[in-house]
Chain A
Amino acid sequence: MALPRLWTPILMASAFGTFAILSPALCLAQNSEIEQLRSVVEGLQQQLQKTLQRIDQLEKEKTATSEKINQMEEEKTTTASRIGQVEKSVQAVQSAPSALNPAIGMVLDANVSQRSKAGGNFDFRSAEIGLAASVDPFARMYGFINGTSDGVEVDEAAAVTTSLPWNLTAKGGRFLADFGRFPKVHEHELPFVNQPLSIERMVGGETQADGAEVNYLFPTPFFLRATVGGYNKIGEENDQVDNNKSRSWSRFTYLGRLNTYFDLSDNHSIELGTSMAYTPSIRLAGNADGGDRILNGIDLTYRFQPLASTVYQGLTIGSEFFHNSQVFASDSSAKRQQAYGGYSYAELKLNKNWSTGFQVDYAPIVDTPAQRTMSYSPFITWNLSEFNRLRLQYSYLNNNFRGADKEENGNQVFLQWTTLIGAHTHGFLGR
């Protein structure tokens, strides 16, 4: 059926109109679909990105975990080797005869000397065996048994309290009495070869004493320590008093000492001590009435110890002065003699192994103080290790009187070799 000719334009116009009216709506519908599609795609993209990130993360975690496993395995191996080491060490310790044995050490002090007046000598000075351990919770004990070319003797054997109240410490037995600085130091511990002659003549050698001592540490912010003691006598070679006889209270020797120390700065310090040993009555041959003996001492030590290089550098300057006041019998009468003496030394640390120094000593004879010996001794020390030391010393001894001991006169050269095995310490006082 053909449409009438009139309707054709109408229909066309209507179709056009309808299209014109509907086309924006159609466009809108298409746009929203695209938007939807776009948002879907974007969502998918985001999901994809998240998934990729997750994959990355998982991969990283996997790597980290495998690294951790490797690390743990390495640690396991290391720990096993450590356990092995510890076990071996424990076995080594357990193989010691007994863990309760005291610490044992031995020091050999061998010397070769050449004296212009007396000649040469291989001088076996000492082989000292040291023992130390706790006795119980209240005390410790130490001993030094010394063998010399003259024989073997107990040099020291003393018990020391460890837990007394009120800052007190008590010591009893045979020990080096707390007089001065070097008089109470074993000869092999000195910075030079021989004990200064002033100590030998005025104190009587090392301050070996049978007796008892009490120390008191003052509760001050700085170091201040006092010692009081009572002894048969002080001085290993002091033959004015018989060590083995019983005696009245007036014939014991009583000691008092004060010791203090100050840090001038981190690297510089000064230490000062004053001591007095008093014997109310001494009975000497030819002077039955005796009289008292007063031995005074002052010691002063300056130390430069640069903290950053204590092992390599250092300077110590030390001096001690002694005064002995005592009645001695002369030809017709007894007379109180005042003797003054002492020594000074300086020691410079050159590096870890080497040090050098100089000592001057003024030693009067206590019963005839006008007679004296002056000595001058440069020395050089080579510490091969902490336990092995060589020392070369030259000494010139000058006496102002005739008939001096040949061993204490003229030019002298010493080579000292000191070696140590096992445990060894002379503690705080021997520093």
Chain B
Amino acid sequence: MKSLTKINKCQLLILVTALAWISSRSAFGQPIRVVATFPDLADITRQIGKNLVSVESLATGVEDPHGVPMKPSFVPRLNRANLLIVTGLDDEHSWLPALLEVASNPKILAGQPGYIDCSVGVPVLEAPTRIDRAEGDLHPKGNPHYLLDPLYGKIAAQNIATGLTRNFPQYEADFDKNLKAYLAELDSWIGRWEKVAAPLRGVKYVEYHPEWVYFANRFRLQRVGSIEIKPGIEPTPNHLVQLVQQIKQENAQVLIYGSQNPRIPQQLQGETGIKVLRLYTSAGARSETDTYIKWIDYTVHSLVQAVS
């Protein structure tokens, strides 16, 4: 009985020590803990925060942006985060708000200083004039895939720097210096991409889901149609017959899909000979697209290669 009590005391001591260690862990964390919803935002944050931040992304980049699984393992990460960086425009609406409800971290709730919405100031495209689900799975605030336009990547970078400075003004000079360097780097890449993407001007494309409007606007591609009838609504056989005719009539050169099922794109390729490209709408989906710049570069070169 005596030894049992002794064991119990030892166990209690170990338990209390473990809990105390766990509770105090956050106090020792040196860098600013940032959680980004997608890998491209995580990369931009790393470029601006450098060694002052430790950044992790919730999604890996291969997921359908609207179908990221609501994993409970995201909850502790959100709980410990000093800052949360989101694409915004309701891109994360299907999975993030419910996770934030249980993350017990008021600092990173929408509207709080720790919640950094990268879409602020982006000239939004395809904002619906009629908000009705008969129009499909709409984004009431507009198309959220603006990071496909590298100029808007610059806006996201500025928003991230502003957010970092808002929360940690003591590092303002560092963030500012890193932002300027990153923007200069992005500018030089944008210059290169504009030259490389010259053959894309006027190229007609078909997309699976309305994701490519920002990219098309920047590099002057022309959208012919989409596989989905309306955003998020899978095609009917009739719609596919019409799309095949449209591809042939308008001489569409390339069909772009990302996280969607390749079955229908391959079927259309068989029927029309259109080139089919799998290009993801986030960085991180492939090893060679692990940064924002590499992702845009890969996207531009892949498309140029496909049409040339």
- B259 at the binding interface (Cβ < 8 Å): yes
Contact of B102 among A215, A222, A307 (CB under 8 A): A215
In whole Å, how far is B47's beta carbon from the nearest beta carbon of chain A?
25
- B169 at the binding interface (Cβ < 8 Å): no
Task: Name the residue among A222, A269, A307, A310 with the largest chain B CB count within 10 angstroms.
Answer: A307
* Interface size classification for chain A: 35 or more
| CB pair A428 B63 closer than 8 Å | no
| CB pair B60 A428 closer than 8 Å | no
Measured CA separation A221–B126 after assembly (Å): 40
Chain B residues near A353 (CB, 8 Å)?
Answer: 234
| CB pair A308 B259 closer than 8 Å | yes
Measured CA separation A425–B101 after assembly (Å): 12
Measured CA separation A160–B106 after assembly (Å): 13
Measured CA separation A371–B22 after assembly (Å): 48
In whole Å, how far is A260's beta carbon from the nearest beta carbon of chain B?
8
- A217 at the binding interface (Cβ < 8 Å): yes
- A122 at the binding interface (Cβ < 8 Å): no
| CB pair A217 B75 closer than 8 Å | yes
| CB pair A222 B22 closer than 8 Å | no
Measured CA separation A194–B300 after assembly (Å): 51
Task: Name the residue among B62, B71, B131 with the largest chain A CB count within 10 angstroms.
Answer: B71
Measured CA separation A428–B232 after assembly (Å): 23
Contact of A85 among B23, B25, B63, B125 (CB under 8 A): B125
- A325 at the binding interface (Cβ < 8 Å): no
Provide the A256-293 mask, 1 if CB < 8 A to any CB of B, else 0.
Answer: 00010111001001010000000000000000000000
- A309 at the binding interface (Cβ < 8 Å): yes
- B133 at the binding interface (Cβ < 8 Å): yes
Contact of B232 among A221, A269, A386 (CB under 8 A): A386
Provide the B231-245 mask, 1 if CB < 8 A to any CB of A, else 0.
Answer: 011100000000000
Measured CA separation A218–B25 after assembly (Å): 12
Measured CA separation A80–B99 after assembly (Å): 38
- B70 at the binding interface (Cβ < 8 Å): yes
In whole Å, how far is B167's beta carbon from the nearest beta carbon of chain A?
17
Q: What is the chain B residue whose CB lies nearest that of A215?
A: B102
Q: What is the chain A residue whose CB lies nearest that of B93?
A: A425
| CB pair A86 B102 closer than 8 Å | no
Measured CA separation A407–B110 after assembly (Å): 48
Task: Name the residue among A217, A303, A428 with the largest chain B CB count within 10 angstroms.
Answer: A428
- A89 at the binding interface (Cβ < 8 Å): yes
In whole Å, how far is A141's beta carbon from the nearest beta carbon of chain B?
13
- A24 at the binding interface (Cβ < 8 Å): no
| CB pair A425 B232 closer than 8 Å | no
| CB pair A223 B124 closer than 8 Å | no
Q: A167-B79, A428-B101 are in contact. Are A311 and B64 (CB under 8 A)?
A: yes
| CB pair A86 B72 closer than 8 Å | no
| CB pair A269 B71 closer than 8 Å | yes
| CB pair A387 B133 closer than 8 Å | yes
In whole Å, how far is B212's beta carbon from the nearest beta carbon of chain A?
15
Measured CA separation A316–B39 after assembly (Å): 27
Chain A residues near B103 (CB, 8 Å)?
Answer: 217
- B302 at the binding interface (Cβ < 8 Å): no
Interface size on B, residues (CB 8 A): 49
- A225 at the binding interface (Cβ < 8 Å): yes
Contact of A89 among B23, B142, B234 (CB under 8 A): B142
> Restricting to A242-267, which residues have a CB under 8 Å from any CB of B?
259, 261-263, 266
Contact of B129 among A82, A85, A160, A425 (CB under 8 A): A85
Provide the A302-342 mask, 1 if CB < 8 A to any CB of B, else 0.
Answer: 01010111111000000000000000000000000000000
- B109 at the binding interface (Cβ < 8 Å): yes
Q: What is the chain A residue whose CB lies nearest that of B63?
A: A307
| CB pair B99 A428 closer than 8 Å | yes
| CB pair A428 B23 closer than 8 Å | no
Q: What is the chain A residue whose CB lies nearest that of B97?
A: A425
Q: A307-B62, A353-B234, A431-B98 are in contact. Are A223 and B76 (CB under 8 A)?
A: yes
Q: A89-B142, A167-B104, A351-B261 are in contact. Are A428 and B64 (CB under 8 A)?
A: no
In whole Å, how far is B110's beta carbon from the nearest beta carbon of chain A?
10
> Restricting to A14-39, which residues have a CB under 8 Å from any CB of B?
none
| CB pair A82 B76 closer than 8 Å | no
Measured CA separation A79–B232 after assembly (Å): 27
Provide the B106-128 mask, 1 if CB < 8 A to any CB of A, else 0.
Answer: 10010000000000000111111
| CB pair A88 B259 closer than 8 Å | no
In whole Å, how far is B43's beta carbon from the nearest beta carbon of chain A?
18
| CB pair B73 A428 closer than 8 Å | no
Q: A85-B126, A425-B98 are in contact. Are A163 and B64 (CB under 8 A)?
A: no
Contact of B109 among A83, A162, A385 (CB under 8 A): A162
| CB pair A88 B73 closer than 8 Å | no
| CB pair B104 A169 closer than 8 Å | yes
Chain B residues near A385 (CB, 8 Å)?
Answer: 133, 137, 232-233
In whole Å, how far is B5's beta carbon from the nearest beta carbon of chain A?
25
| CB pair A427 B98 closer than 8 Å | yes
Q: What is the chain A residue whose CB lies nearest that of B137?
A: A386
- A421 at the binding interface (Cβ < 8 Å): yes
Measured CA separation A363–B271 after assembly (Å): 54
Residues in B lying within 8 Å of A, measured CB to CB: 22-23, 25-26, 60, 62-64, 67-73, 75-76, 79-80, 97-99, 101-104, 106, 109, 123-131, 133, 137, 140-142, 217, 232-234, 259-261
* Beyond known contacts A167-B79, A219-B22, A261-B73: 20 more, CB 8 A cutoff: A82-B125, A85-B125, A85-B142, A86-B142, A88-B129, A92-B131, A215-B104, A217-B102, A219-B25, A220-B22, A225-B102, A263-B73, A308-B63, A311-B64, A311-B67, A351-B261, A385-B133, A385-B233, A428-B99, A431-B70
Residues in A lying within 8 Å of B, measured CB to CB: 78-79, 82-83, 85-86, 88-89, 92-93, 160, 162-164, 167-169, 215, 217-223, 225, 259, 261-263, 266, 269, 271, 303, 305, 307-312, 351-353, 385-387, 421, 425, 427-428, 431
The contact sample of 17 A-B pairs, CB cut-off 8 A, is A79-B123, A83-B123, A85-B126, A88-B127, A92-B129, A162-B106, A164-B104, A215-B102, A215-B104, A217-B102, A222-B76, A223-B76, A259-B72, A262-B73, A311-B64, A352-B261, A427-B101
